[in-house]
Chain A
Amino acid sequence: AQSVTQLGSHVSVSEGALVLLRCNYSSSVPPYLFWYVQYPNQGLQLLLKYTSAATLVKGINGFEAEFKKSETSFHLTKPSAHMSDAAEYFCAVRGGGKLIFGQGTELSVKP
């Protein structure tokens, strides 16, 4: 069975600081991994995805993630946080056709 675990349900950073949101996966087959963002009262928006091509994946809004097989990780980073980045972030792995999500990490950005 495939699963993802997000470490830290809440992360708080200052504006301009590095953002690091952690995700570890478990999969018996090469995984397809995703990061989604959810703003209040909205649906999920795809930030980026890993599909077994380049291990460093760049997404929208300046986010990127690196697939590390040896660490079974797919952490999300952004060099400089902006107030508009405050939202809930979900890591997901594709299992068959469906997505299997982590519990989510709420990112707060302090001015």
Chain B
Amino acid sequence: GAGVSQSPRYKVAKRGQDVALRCDPISGHVSLFWYQQALGQGPEFLTYFQNEAQLDKSGLPSDRFFAERPEGSVSTLKIQRTQQEDSAVYLCASSLPLVAGSNPTEDQYFGPGTRLLVL
């Protein structure tokens, strides 16, 4: 079975350019997460989807960041007018749904990430 895949693996953008990062979750996983990992740091939460609904976008650093998952499967993270501080690895993870009232211990499976460098 295929794991979480992300594309592109590497992206170089000029400052001010728009970029789109894609995540293909594991088939059947309805929960999808985006994290940002700056160099030498731990991943930081950006946003969370359950199916097509974006339930938490509290981690998005600015209104230049936008994520969507229109059909509840593939997700795209878009960054508009990129800045140098956006340079990071963007990780996507998917999991089975969190069932209300149960232990929230569904494992998150991570993709390899997209390394974004903004020049």
Contact = CB atoms under 8 A, between A and B. Distances in A.
B112 A97 contact: no
Interface residues of B, number: 28
Contact of A45 (B44, B48, B110): B110
Nearest to A91: B42
A104 B44 CA distance: 12
Contact of B44 (A32, A52, A101): A101
Contact of B111 (A36, A43, A90): A43
Given A97-B31, A98-B56, A44 B43 contact: yes
B101 to A, nearest CB: 14
B4 interface: yes
A94 interface: yes
B20 interface: no
Nearest to B46: A98
A42 interface: yes
A97 B104 contact: yes
A100 interface: yes
B21 to A, nearest CB: 14
A104 to B, nearest CB: 5
Contacts of A100: 45
Contacts of B41: 103-104
- The residue in A52, A92, A101 that gathers the most chain B C-beta atoms within 10 A of its C-beta is A101
Given A96-B104, A97-B98, 14 more contacts: A41-B112, A42-B113, A43-B113, A44-B93, A52-B103, A90-B43, A94-B104, A97-B104, A99-B43, A99-B45, A99-B108, A101-B44, A104-B41, A104-B42
Interface of A: 32, 36, 41-46, 49, 51-52, 90, 92, 94, 96-104
10 contacts: A32-B104, A32-B105, A36-B110, A41-B115, A44-B93, A97-B55, A98-B45, A98-B56, A99-B43, A101-B44
Which 4 residue pairs of A and B lie closest in terms of their CB atoms, listed nearest first? A101-B42, A43-B110, A98-B45, A44-B110
